[in-house]
Structure 1
Amino acid sequence: MTSLVPWQERLSAGTEAVQDDVIREYERTKQGKAYVPNMVWGTLQTEGYATVILKQVVDFLGVPDDAPAGVAKRMERQRVLYDGEHHYDVILGEQALYTNIGGPEVMRAQADRLLRDIDLPSLTLGILPATARVSMFPVPGFGIFGDGDTVNVELVSTGVDITDASEVALHQKAFALLREKAAYGDAAKDLLRKAQSFWDSAPLQE
């Protein structure tokens, strides 16, 4: 089964209620997966990074502006990284480290955060190098939740929830292929430090 809910409908009361839904989804997911090719996974975002993202969502969709409340909820959802009851296997595309969200200062803080959290027991963080030869054609980002039985894909206008077993299996297969070429451990840290150095040398003002 596939469920599609337009963002303007889902966010008609603002961002806070949706973030509450996300918190519940993450709390019920003991072993989750996420592939995020061009931005930082929400559960690893700094407050500054998340503020820029949610403000852009509000402005683009024209929904009620409660971005500060939405950001607070996004920060609250990050407790799953520290409660000892969850584990997330996350692949970020290397491009996610360079997509300019909010300018160099925000990106510097975000790179610092990733380097700080990469060794969390609750997190397996891989970075897919931009030049990696992956046995998988380019696909949008997606998350695998619940007991591995639900896939979420965020499109420009719509959030898509997929529960059909055969479609979920294809996303699991895609994740495994992407994971084969992702960098982990020291290699991932090297890519993060490279991005950190880039933003350290970037001017504060654009």
Structure 2
Amino acid sequence: MTSSTPWQQRLSTGTEDVQDEVIGWYQQTRHGKAYVPNMIWGTLQTEAYATVILRRVVEFLGVPDDVPAGVAKRMERQQVLYDGEHRYDVVLGEQALYTNVGGGPVMRDQLERLLREMNLPSLSLGILPATAECAIVPVPGFNMGEDRAHYELVSCGVDITDAAELALHRRAFDALSGAAHYGDSATRLIDKALAFWSNA
């Protein structure tokens, strides 16, 4: 089954309620997967990076401005990385390290956080190089729990719950993670991007 809800409906009271929903989903999801090609995964965002992202959402969609409350909830959600009860397999596209969110200082702090957190026991963080050959056609980013896959499109959020479709998403994630770099190789890609932002 596939369902979608327009963002302007979901965000009719601002960003905080949706972020609160996401906290609930993450707390229920013991083993999550995320492929994020163009930006940093929300659960690894710094407060400054998340503030820029949610500010853009509010201004683009014209929804109520509660950005500080939404950011606070996004920071709260990150506790799943430290509670010892959850695990996340995350693949970032190399472009995510270069997409300009807030300028040099914000990007430097964000990449430094990736370097600090990438060895957490709860996290497997891969970087998919821009030139990597991958056994799947290019796909948009998605998040997966045990029971659904979630996409964030321009106008709406989409949830997929059909078992056969979820199996295809797992295959897609396996292909993406199989082409990604981990450990020291991932660190080198992040260091390269950090050097770029240090000179920007």
TM-score, normalised with respect to structure 1: 0.96
Name the structure 1 match of 2:39.
39
Q: Secondary structure at the match of 1:75?
A: helix
Structure 2 unmatched runs, 5+: none
- Measure how far apart 1:165 and its partner are: 0.8
Residue identity opposite 2:26 in structure 1: Y
Alignment of 1:14-33 (within 5 A): 14-33=14-33
Name the structure 2 match of 1:178.
176
- Measure how far apart 1:3 and its partner are: 1.1
Q: Alignment partner for residue 158 of structure 1, among 153, 156, 159?
A: 156
Residue identity opposite 1:14 in structure 2: G
- Measure how far apart 1:149 and its partner are: 2.0
* Alpha-carbon distance between aligned partners in 1 of 2:165 and 2:59, rounded to the nearest angstrom: 33
* Alpha-carbon distance between aligned partners in 1 of 2:147 and 2:62, rounded to the nearest angstrom: 32
Deviations 1:94-147 (A, max 9, x none): 0000000010110000000000000000000000000001111111000111xx
Q: Alignment partner for residue 191 of structure 2, among 184, 189, 193?
A: 193
1:13 pairs with 2:23: no
TM-score, normalised with respect to structure 2: 0.99
Residue identity opposite 1:20 in structure 2: D
Q: Secondary structure at the match of 2:125?
A: strand
Name the structure 2 match of 1:140.
140
Structure 1 unmatched runs, 5+: none
Residue identity (%): 68
Q: Secondary structure at the match of 2:75?
A: helix
* Alpha-carbon distance between aligned partners in 1 of 2:177 and 2:22, rounded to the nearest angstrom: 24
* Alpha-carbon distance between aligned partners in 2 of 1:136 and 1:37, rounded to the nearest angstrom: 14
* Alpha-carbon distance between aligned partners in 2 of 1:6 and 1:168, rounded to the nearest angstrom: 22
Moved over 6 A (4+): none
